A = this chain, B = another copy of it.
Amino acid sequence: MVSDVEHPREEILADRAQNGRAEPLGIIAGGGALPRIVAQEAAKQGWVPVIVAVADGRASDWSPWPHLSIPWSHVGEGLSFLRASGVKKIAIGGTISVRPDFRSMVPSFRTLSLLPDIFRAMRGGDDTLLRACTTAVARRGFEFVAIHDIAPKLLMSEGTLTRRQPSQREELALVRGFLAARRLGELDVGQAAVASPDRVIALEGIEGTREMLERVRGLRARGRIGDKEPCVLVKTVKPQQDRRFDLPAIGPSTIAEAAAAGLRGIGVSAGGALIIEADRLLSAAEVEGLFVVGRALPPETGASA
């Protein structure tokens, strides 16, 4: 597994050990399987997970861990809850499909003091938003840790993880896809693209990967992608991204969605993306005949047509 984090894992674990008792780990949890995996992994290592469920994560059952489910307007209460639980370190993960719309909500009293930071944060794309929120939270005495420092097995490794290897033309599609996804990331828009050797098919905006793949399925059903045009999904970390937050992720459902869209495989930035439930994901890929590859350095030349 490749890991080039700024905060070495050993140090984080050492911190925890020094306490002499189980240290709480705050987890700001969106939707999907990821936050629960992180909580389980943290518990296994002796942390006490303390969950603040937001957005899509509010639908999940967070027992047996201490947890609080809050709307965006009560994010201040979320931080108070973490502080009251003795949390110093926070990890954040899971899907957040509804962006906080602070302009049309009535914030709670505890959230009010966060608003100046939040409004500054709203001026950028998602990455800018996250970075600014970090600063706001750090200023209140918390430290963010990366999910893959808690659960290193989640980090995408380099190489082909499936029996099936990309063909020469699929390799060209990967090169084009990585180029497009990186450019998209530079604009702080999305992290995913679908490409063939000949062209870029779709780019991820705020709709997310699942809906982009549904779109590709529709395009294919209507004959707008040729039967023999090999298409691939690429997900890659943004060049400027703080790797403690919002790494691109693939999970078993990504395989199902990619297969439904008629894709040949998936390319992901190694050491800069999460692979969720890798075992289930890879057996699904084998069944569907898709390849899954991790690439450490996306090729930046050769397909700039």
Contacts and interface: CB of A to CB of B under 8 A. Distances in A.
Interface of A: 97-99, 101, 103-104, 122-128, 179-180, 183-184, 186-190, 194, 197-203, 205-207, 211, 215, 219, 223-229, 305
Contacts of A126: 199
B180 A187 contact: yes
A139 to B, nearest CB: 21
A227 B104 contact: yes
Given A101-B227, A224-B97, A206 B198 contact: no
A169 to B, nearest CB: 11
Contacts of A189: 180, 199-200, 203
A97 B219 CA distance: 10
A120 B175 CA distance: 19
A98 B226 CA distance: 9
Chain B CB within 10 A, most for which of A125, A184, A188, A205: A205
A302 to B, nearest CB: 12
17 contacts: A97-B224, A98-B223, A101-B228, A104-B228, A122-B198, A123-B198, A187-B200, A189-B200, A189-B203, A199-B206, A200-B205, A200-B206, A201-B206, A202-B205, A202-B207, A206-B224, A207-B219
- 5 A-B pairs with the lowest CB-CB distances in the bound complex, closest first: A101-B226, A202-B205, A124-B305, A203-B203, A189-B200
Contacts of A200: 125, 187-189, 205-206
B203 A184 contact: yes
Main secondary structure of the interface of A (DSSP, over half): loop
Contact of A187 (B123, B128, B179, B219): B179
A101 B207 CA distance: 29
A191 to B, nearest CB: 13
A225 to B, nearest CB: 8
Contacts of A122: 198
A32 B201 CA distance: 22
A248 to B, nearest CB: 17
A20 to B, nearest CB: 44
A207 B215 contact: yes
A183 B181 CA distance: 12
A254 to B, nearest CB: 18
Contacts of A127: 305
Given A99-B226, A101-B227, A125-B200, 18 more contacts: A97-B224, A101-B223, A101-B229, A122-B198, A124-B198, A125-B198, A125-B305, A126-B199, A127-B305, A180-B189, A183-B186, A183-B187, A184-B203, A201-B206, A202-B205, A206-B224, A207-B224, A215-B215
